[in-house]
Amino acid sequence: MYDTLLFLHVLSAFALVATVAIYSAFALGAATDLRVLMVGRVLWAAGGLGTLVFGIWLAIYLQNYELWDGWIIAAVVLWAIATVVGRRAEVGYTALGGTAPGAGAAAGAERAALMHWLRSLLVLALLVVMIYKPGA
């Protein structure tokens, strides 16, 4: 059971990282494609739900950890903040989809890119917390 839960938890984390990779392409200047944004949105939703469900299930299943351990709470808080910030990036890139380049579009792209890079840092911090489990 443990191996299956861990596999599904890590697979879900890969979906989150894949979303970061997709949005990195847009932040680095790739044309905004609404279909690719949808793939990123679905990956984030599935990965986020999977990491939470399987991560909490693992914490309950394993006797070494409790849901109120500091590193688990930190991971959930980082995930929640990354989701909110990522949503702002998603809204920014969705607004840019199919629009002609202009001054407003450039400013919107910069804001969306800023939100994306902030989410990337939050995901990196989340991965560090999950790997090193500070305080465990």
Q: Please report, for the chain, the start and end positions of each structural domain, with discontinuous segments joined by +.
A: 2-132
* Closest to 129 in 3D by CA, of 91, 79, 95, 85: 79
Helix (H, G, I), strand (E, B) or coil at 135: coil
**pLDDT given for residue 32 in this prediction:** 82
Whole-model pTM? 0.85
Reported as a pLDDT band with limits 50, 70 and 90, residue 119 is very high
The pLDDT tens digits of the residues spanning 23-79 come to 999 889 888 888 999 999 999 999 999 999 999 999 899 888 888 888 999 999 999
d(CA 44, CA 26) in angstroms, rounded, equals 16
Q: What is the CA radius of gyration of the chain?
A: 16
For residues 116 and 27, the answer to whether their CB atoms sit within 8 Å is yes
**Residue 5 has which token pair?**
């839960």
SS3 content of the chain, % helix, strand, coil (to 5): 80, 0, 20
Look up residue 48 and give its two tokens.
Answer: 């986020």
- Cα–Cα dist 96/78, whole Å: 27
- 3-13: average pLDDT: 94
Going by C-alpha positions, the residue among 83, 84, 107, 87 that lies closest to residue 96 is 107
